[in-house]
Structure 1
């Protein structure tokens, strides 16, 4: 459920906002175009939104300008940072532990879904179909188009001496784009994927009637 990363979340809570604005050279390419990408996410949202892994609340703040939001975040440190930005009660939960009695139109997550293993990703998507029945799923995250693309990124990070980034890339569960697409399509979504920078892809999935849970 990604909770093995709670100690890392505690550290990131203090550094995340500086990192996304380009103050850490190792992660500059990961967050290239960050503000533009968040705005593009909001343009894809419809109706009432549930956000998973809201972190320090950067996307949440933008969503709240246009939509009703249920925000879910497991890290108390991240929630504390977000609370300084937002007038919002953030749910203490995660991708697999969340309010299941809500009616939502869009599920969204940015820079967080990779904290789940592929099996946990599949379980999460099945759970959302069963409990939330949201017709829209919007995901922004680091993904790899192929094994070759992944190897190229790892080689690039190593060649540049980006040891912290390289550790992250080897430790966390960054998926292949075709894996995410297959997971969503198996649950009745039509999927579009757009690469936004060297690392990050935007996934927009629209629910079709009569989808099969898998």
Structure 2
């Protein structure tokens, strides 16, 4: 899973919490409403939860107040921050390489799924259907409705001089909303999607036992 980004994760580990709290002007729009969005994610979770890409543990801390959590993070530096914050085991792994579990009730990820290519995104969801038997998948991440919408955002960031953000937007695998919907529906999930700020969408996918619906 996006192991080409490991050096970036190492750099982000020490500054991520300051960034999500609005201390980096370039990323303020990306994290507008951050705390509220994380709370909304937790409201959508059921039972035993597996979280991929825990980062520095901000979502994890909220999940632990209500649910049993299996936390997974590929970056040594991010994982160290999360362990100190959460006081729990954070397993080494990623979206495509994770500890075998017979069943979890919910799978969740925030601000991380875009590190997979579209092919890898599909592989990940297919793997969860086969191995985890989870009826709920909740995703909070940057995505775009179209190539035009993505280009407009890149132009906006360029005009504001947000060079680091522009680099991120051009380097990482931010998906289109239709792609995410298609992958989930093809794997038997009913999908609800809601845009939460200029960049971020909340996706709630529920496994259907008698067919799919949108």
TM class, shorter-length: over 0.9
After superposing on structure 2, the runs of 4+ consecutive aligned residues of structure 1 that deviate more than 6 Å are none
Give the equivalent residue in structure 2 for 1:125: 125
Residue 101 of structure 1 and its aligned partner are, at CA, apart by 2.5
The normalised TM-score by structure 1 is 0.97
Residue 64 of structure 1 and its aligned partner are, at CA, apart by 0.1
Aligned mates of 2:147, 2:64 — CA distance in 1: 37
Of 25-34 and 95-104, deviating more is 95-104
Give the equivalent residue in structure 2 for 1:116: 116
Give the equivalent residue in structure 2 for 1:194: 194
Residue 211 of structure 1 and its aligned partner are, at CA, apart by 5.5
Aligned mates of 2:210, 2:46 — CA distance in 1: 21
Query: Structure 1 102/78 Cα, relative in aligned 2: closer, same or farther at 3 Å?
Result: farther
Conserved? CA contact 1:186–1:211, under 8 Å? no
State the aligned residue count: 212
Residue 87 of structure 1 and its aligned partner are, at CA, apart by 1.9
Conserved? CA contact 2:102–2:133, under 8 Å? no
Aligned mates of 2:211, 2:112 — CA distance in 1: 25
Matches within 5 A, 1:46-195: 46-195=46-195
Aligned mates of 2:101, 2:165 — CA distance in 1: 38
Conserved? CA contact 1:187–1:211, under 8 Å? no
The normalised TM-score by structure 2 is 0.97
Residue 147 of structure 1 and its aligned partner are, at CA, apart by 1.4
Query: What do you get for the CA RMSD once the two structures are aligned?
Result: 1.0
Aligned mates of 1:88, 1:118 — CA distance in 2: 31
Aligned mates of 1:148, 1:191 — CA distance in 2: 23
